[in-house]
């Protein structure tokens, strides 16, 4: 059956064409939330731009939904937490419109400095007012860039070409990185104090909401100019309107608004503020880029693969794949085995990465794989790389992740210790090559087990006859034993037996094994 994809905002034809090769595509724009809720249950994927609010209600109604794609950068119109809870991958196309937004910012800055939109409107009205539209030069002025990500950096590069002095604030970018581009990183209050023009390029998050407000504007230079081509709400619009009216702010250029469209905003009534209707990404080139990117990611996810720009799950970058993948495969098997060996309600998990495993670039990814391996068999709802951690947290499972140089005689080791309300159990494994991994201990007993197929694992008193009786029972049940290992600490004490078998062990045979004199516990597991 073909997958069904709903496109609820205008998407470039190039993207739609890619989707149509693999999916049934419906383009249905301008839907209300209720209309979307009514139809979303029929679709496997939803593709949007900034025009669709993908709320928790929409997501919860998307019974078949596996992928939400954002043909652009900002995902603030998507309830990613709700998607994560439901195991839906959210991905964006953050690179495709960087240059479009950058060039729009430059256009806004130049228009603001030289009053181009106002002068155009005036001349078209039949006026010829040359002195009214006296401008300022950008040459030698200080540009303050708040948010030094993709767009912020490209804006700075272009501003430097116009001989502006660029300073930037971004708590997540190092001074060295900025210095390599000739940009001085400064604290935010210094940026506000020193800049002649301030342009914001951050996401709208708690920390950036109304960061430009009455108080911060008061610390800026008289006659400062402000630009927002990022997200409405980073600048407090009421404070801006007042500061423009008082003359503190000489002018502002806005592409985005707290509410879009910004009907009734006083910012639309003043000539000192120039505006565009969220056009930052609106170039032919950018729209083609983002549509193609998100369409390809959508198909990849629907076909069981991964997406390049997942917003709500850790993915392994291509360059780390070869190193991380063997550990991830082992980890999932270890998780699966461990959950089958435990009884009771899972309370905590301690995961230790030792030796070379501690150096992995992405232990968080491997930890999620362990969780998926453990939780998938026991939960009704699908557990995947998107929601594994969330599901564990929701179920109150305490998690700890430790790294250590110690690898217990192996080059690398992953150990998982699980505690339930009834018992503790542990499993360790080691990777010895791209396709070669072993379970090296269970419950503290050494083993050497290829993590695949069916096993019977039992604890028994180390005395003659116990193993033979178990083998006889399996033989009678027509279960072939492919391998056997016994681990013990001291002769005569408790021992652990691992039997690899070629097929499922019938429940009555397992019951018989559990009743053998000397057997303490016995479990059948499929790894």
Ligand X SMILES: O=C(O)C(=O)COP(=O)(O)O
- Catalytic positions, please? 231, 260, 278
Task: Tell me the CA distances in angstroms from 166 to 108, 146, 221, one per residue in order.
Answer: 17, 11, 16
Per CB under 6 A, 176 contacts ligand NAI = no
Which residue is associated with the tokens 């073909």?
Answer: 2
The residue among 204 and 301 lying less far from ligand NAI, judged by its C-beta, is 204
Which member of 21, 176, 207, 421 binds ligand NAI (CB under 6 A)? 207
In terms of CB distance, is 151 or 474 closer to ligand NAI?
151
Q: Can residue 288 be called a binding residue for ligand NAI (CB under 6 A)?
A: no
Binding window for ligand X (CB under 6 A); candidates: 15-23, 173-181, 277-285, 354-362: 277-285
Bridge partners, residue 184, by sequence: 167
Q: Choosing among ligand X, ligand NAI, none, which partner's interface includes residue 150 (Cβ < 5 to 8 Å by kind)?
A: ligand NAI
SS3 letters across 240-294: HHHHHHHCCEEEEEECCCCCCCCCCCHHHCCCCEEECCCCCCCCHHHHHHHHHHH
- Locus of tokens 């790894």: 527
Measured from each CB, the residue nearest to ligand X is 72
Among the candidate windows 67-75, 343-351, 416-424, 498-506, which touches ligand NAI by CB under 6 A?
67-75
How many angstroms separate the CA atoms of 365 and 310, rounded?
Answer: 13
- Which residue number, 74 or 262, has a Cβ lying nearer to ligand X? 74
Please report whether residue 104 would count as binding ligand X according to CB under 6 A: no
What values do phi and psi take at 145, rounded to 5? -105, 110
**What minimum distance in Å lies between the beta carbon of 157 and ligand X?**
20
77: left (phi over 0), alpha (psi -120 to 50) or beta: alpha
Of 230 and 339, CB closest to ligand NAI = 230
389 binds, among ligand X, ligand NAI, none (CB under 5 to 8 A by kind): none
Is residue 294 within the footprint of ligand X (CB under 6 A)? no
Judged by CB under 6 A, does residue 155 bind ligand X?
A: no
Distances (CA, A) of 127 to 118, 120, 130, 133, 251: 11, 10, 9, 12, 22
Site for ligand NAI in 208-237 (CB under 6 A): 208, 229-231
| Binding of residue 50 to ligand X (CB under 6 A) | yes
Q: What is the largest CA-CA distance in the chain?
A: 109
Instruction: Please name the helix (run of DSSP H) or strand (run of DSSP E) that holds residue 457, with its range, or none.
Output: strand 454-461
Verify binding: residue 178, ligand X, rule CB under 6 A: no
Pick from ligand NAI, ligand X, none: which does 49 bind, CB < 5 to 8 A by kind?
Answer: ligand X
**Which pair of structure tokens corresponds to residue 334?**
């270890």
Q: Counting contacts by CB under 6 A, is residue 49 touching ligand X?
A: yes
Measure the CA–CA gap between 216 and 212, rounded to whole angstroms.
6
352 binds ligand X (CB under 6 A): no
Of 78 and 366, nearer to ligand X (C-beta) is 78
Query: Within a 13 Å sphere around the CA of 408, how many CA atoms are in the beta-carbon half?
Result: 15
Q: How far apart are CA 243 and CA 158, in angstroms?
A: 28
Per-residue mark of binding to ligand NAI, 88-117 (x: CB under 6 A) = ------x--xx--x----------------
Q: Choose the contact partner of 151 out of ligand X, ligand NAI, none; CB within 5 to 8 A by kind.
A: ligand NAI
By CB under 6 A, tell whether 281 contacts ligand NAI.
yes
| Cα separation, 220 vs 90, whole angstroms | 38
Tracing tokens 């991994």 back to the chain, one arrives at 437
Residue 465: Cβ-neighbour burial (10 angstroms; 0-12, 13-18, 19+): exposed
Q: Could you tell me the smallest distance in angstroms from the CB atom of residue 135 to ligand X?
A: 28
Tell which residue, 80, 96, 77, has the closest CA to residue 88.
Answer: 80
Q: Does 199 bind ligand NAI (CB under 6 A)?
A: no
**Rounded-to-integer distance, Cα 373 and Cα 15, Å:** 35
Binding site for ligand X (CB under 6 A): 49-51, 71-74, 97, 278, 280-282
Q: Would you tell me which residues interact with ligand NAI (CB under 6 A)?
A: 72-74, 94, 97-98, 101, 146-152, 169-173, 201-203, 207-208, 229-231, 255-256, 278, 280-281
């Amino acid at each position: 059956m073909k997958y069904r994809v709903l496109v609820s905002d205008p998407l470039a034809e190039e993207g739609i064409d890619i989707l149509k090769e693999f999916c049934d595509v419906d383009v249905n724009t301008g839907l209300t939330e209720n209309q979307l809720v009514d139809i979303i249950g029929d679709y496997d994927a939803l593709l949007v731009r900034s025009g669709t609010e993908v709320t928790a209600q929409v997501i919860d109604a998307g019974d078949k939904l596996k992928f939400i794609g954002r043909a652009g950068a900002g995902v603030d119109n998507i309830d990613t937490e709700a998607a994560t809870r439901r195991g839906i991958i959210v991905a964006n196309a953050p690179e495709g419109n960087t240059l479009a937004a950058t060039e729009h910012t430059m256009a806004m800055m130049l228009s603001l400095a030289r009053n181009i939109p106002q002068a155009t409107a005036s001349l078209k009205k039949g006026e010829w007012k040359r002195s009214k539209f006296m401008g300022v030069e950008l040459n030698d002025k200080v540009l303050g860039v708040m948010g030094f990500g993709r767009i912020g950096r490209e804006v700075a590069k272009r501003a430097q070409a116009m001989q502006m002095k660029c300073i930037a604030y971004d708590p997540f970018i190092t001074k060295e990185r900025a210095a390599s581009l000739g940009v001085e990183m400064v604290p935010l209050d210094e940026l506000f104090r020193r800049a002649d023009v301030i342009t914001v390029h951050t996401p709208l998050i708690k920390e950036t909401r109304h960061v430009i407000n009455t108080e911060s504007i008061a610390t800026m230079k008289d006659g400062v100019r402000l630009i927002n081509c990022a997200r409405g709400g980073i600048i407090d619009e009421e404070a801006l309107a007042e500061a423009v009216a008082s003359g503190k702010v000489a002018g502002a250029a806005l592409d985005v608004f707290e509410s879009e469209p910004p009907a009734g905003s006083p910012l639309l009534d003043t000539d000192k503020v120039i505006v565009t209707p969220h056009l930052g990404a609106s170039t032919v080139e950018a729209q083609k880029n983002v549509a193609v990117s998100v369409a390809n990611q959508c198909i990849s996810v629907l076909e069981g693969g991964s997406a390049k720009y997942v917003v709500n799950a850790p993915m392994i970058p291509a360059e780390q794949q070869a190193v991380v993948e063997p550990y991830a495969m082992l980890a999932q098997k270890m998780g699966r085995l461990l959950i089958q060996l435990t009884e009771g309600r899972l309370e905590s998990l301690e995961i230790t990465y030792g030796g070379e495993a501690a150096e992995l670039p992405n232990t968080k990814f491997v930890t999620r794989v362990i969780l998926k391996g453990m939780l998938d068999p026991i939960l009704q709802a699908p557990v995947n790389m998107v929601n594994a951690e969330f599901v564990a947290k929701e179920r109150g499972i305490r998690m700890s992740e430790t790294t250590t140089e110690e690898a217990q005689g192996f080059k690398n080791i992953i150990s998982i210790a699980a505690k339930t309300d009834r018992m503790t159990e542990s499993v360790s494994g080691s990777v010895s090559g791209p396709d070669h991994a072993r379970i090296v201990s269970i419950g503290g007993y050494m083993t050497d087990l290829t993590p695949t197929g069916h096993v019977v694992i039992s604890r028994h008193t180390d005395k003659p006859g116990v193993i033979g009786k178990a083998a006889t029972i399996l033989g009678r049940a027509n279960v072939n034993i492919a391998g056997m290992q016994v681990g013990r600490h001291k002769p005569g004490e408790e021992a652990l037996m691992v039997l690899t078998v070629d097929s499922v062990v019938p429940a009555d045979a397992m019951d018989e094994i559990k009743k053998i004199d000397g057997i303490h516990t016995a479990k059948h597991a499929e790894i």
